Amino acid sequence: MNKEDLGDLEQTLGVKFKNTDTLRQAFVHRSYLNEHTDFPLGHNERLEFLGDAVLELVVTENLYANYENPEGELTNWRASLVNAEMLSKLCNELDVEEYLYLSKGEAKDKASKARKYILANTFEAIIGAIYLDCGWDVAKVFIEKHVMKELPYILEHRLFIDPKSRFQEAAQEHVGTTPSYKVLSEIGPDHEKEFEVGVFISKEHIATGKGTSKHEAQVAAADEAIKLKGW
């Protein structure tokens, strides 16, 4: 793959750029510039800032135009469409990770939580680049094609409700009991702890989750419990 030739990337995105450097900059992570001070482009954070605003407005406008639900519901739906988990997934689906400009350390760390946020931020930066180079209409088509298509699945599986709430609702519906959570272990120094939390129904250990906070581990455990129970 030649990073200098962005023709395949433009084809993947379905967008033809007037200035391909605008698109290339969407993939430049700050860490890369620390190791390549002579690189001619800046990092992607300003494009990310712009893309975040464009994304939120397109999604908001689409929801407002197509659904007459109350504000609170639409807000939850929007949040489920534009959160880091969703945007990193969408970036992975585009299969554009090879175009990233990363430091050697970041490039090796593919499975980390940090990589998820890098991909989510890159997706927003791509939107910012499309808006800047091609305008509102092209950016809107891109967002509606790649982001709004996720809404039916989100609504069908109630993913706009956080996993803890969903598992609690399901447990009360199926067995009439509220789940409980227990910290099974915590390792690492105070500034870098990892928690392992179990979720229980009565005394039955249903699933385990890990996270850098107790809440994050509880959410991971609830999410896994939903999958295991088929609820």
Give me the chain's average pLDDT, please.
94
Please give the average per-residue pLDDT across 164-169, as a whole number. Answer: 93
Could you give the residue numbers annotated as active site? 52, 124
Taken in order of first residue, the domains within the chain and their CATH numbers are 7-156 (1.10.1520.10), 163-229 (3.30.160.20)
Are 14 and 145 in contact by the 8 Å Cβ rule? The answer is yes
For the ranges 6-10, 23-27, 92-96, 158-162, which has the lowest average pLDDT? 158-162
Q: How many CB atoms lie under 10 A from the CB of residue 105?
A: 10
Per-position DSSP letters for 22-72, written without gaps between them = HHHHTTB-HHHHHH-TT-SS--SHHHHHHHHHHHHHHHHHHHHHH----HH
pLDDT tens-digit series, residues 136-160: 999 999 999 999 999 999 999 888 9
Q: How many CB atoms lie under 10 A from the CB of residue 172?
A: 12
Are 226 and 166 in contact by the 8 Å Cβ rule? The answer is yes
Give the pTM.
0.82
What is residue 43's DSSP assignment? Answer: -
Please give the average per-residue pLDDT across 171-198, as a whole number. Answer: 94
C-alpha span between 183 and 160 (Å, rounded): 26
